[in-house]
Amino acid sequence: MAHRIGYIVGSLSQDSINRILAKALIRVAPPSLELTEISIRDLPLYNRDDEMDPVAAVTDFKRAIEKSEGLLIVSPEYNRSIPGPLKNAIDWGSRPWGHNSFARKPSGIIGASTGAIGTAVMQSSMRSVLSFLNAPQLNAPEAYITFKPEVFDDDGGVSDAATEQFLTHYMGEYAAFVERVLSLTAPGHVGDRE
């Protein structure tokens, strides 16, 4: 049975290069992963005053994270950091205190940029956030994709063999990581005590 993996695209743009990258990742993912997008488009700006009575978009978002067995973040880098909409989503998903939807979700971070360093700085910041949220992370291989329009088509096709091989390897490693984490956090596991 395939593991349910939610993926979040960190850009709100419908034609984001990271949305194209997400399609490529879905295409090369092993059959043990079933990927479904978790949209962040309709989330309001985070406000602590609304934590206890959030709008439906927030409760739907948190429920989608909680139903997922793992989480893949596919995101651009804005001004050397996490895009505002993505950070806003993380803030909603982790609140109120004691109701962190991200806890124990095996997570992967990948991103595409037209620049040479890909999304390295965003990913470094995101690792710090996910660590605080108790979300185990795939640390290697790291994946900073320099996006070239001639390599990726709109449907997730990849024309460069080395790029496709790397993305296939990344998704295979992520799938193995999900298996390892879930085997350790399954109910009844000796190490799974509060």
Query: Could you tell me if residue 113 is inside a domain?
Result: yes
What is the DSSP track for 116-169? TTTTHHHHHHHHHHHHHTT--B--SS--EEE--TTTB-TTS-B--HHHHHHHHH
Query: Could you tell me if residue 146 is inside a domain?
Result: yes
Query: Could you tell me if residue 190 is inside a domain?
Result: no
Query: Could you tell me if residue 193 is inside a domain?
Result: no
User: Could you tell me the pLDDT band of residue 115, with boundaries at 50, 70 and 90?
Assistant: confident
Strands 107-113 and 70-74: parallel
Dihedral of alpha carbons 9, 15, 16, 21, sign: positive
Instruction: Specify the number of domains making up the chain.
Output: 1
Query: Could you tell me if residue 135 is inside a domain?
Result: yes
Query: Could you tell me if residue 194 is inside a domain?
Result: no
User: Could you tell me the pLDDT band of residue 25, with boundaries at 50, 70 and 90?
Assistant: very high
- Of 115, 113, 144, 149, give the one whose Cα is nearest residue 127: 144
User: Could you tell me the pLDDT band of residue 139, with boundaries at 50, 70 and 90?
Assistant: very high
| pTM greater than the 0.95 cutoff | no
* pLDDT of the residue at 189: 45
CATH number for the domain spanning 125: value is 3.40.50.360
Enclosing domain of residue 36: 3-185
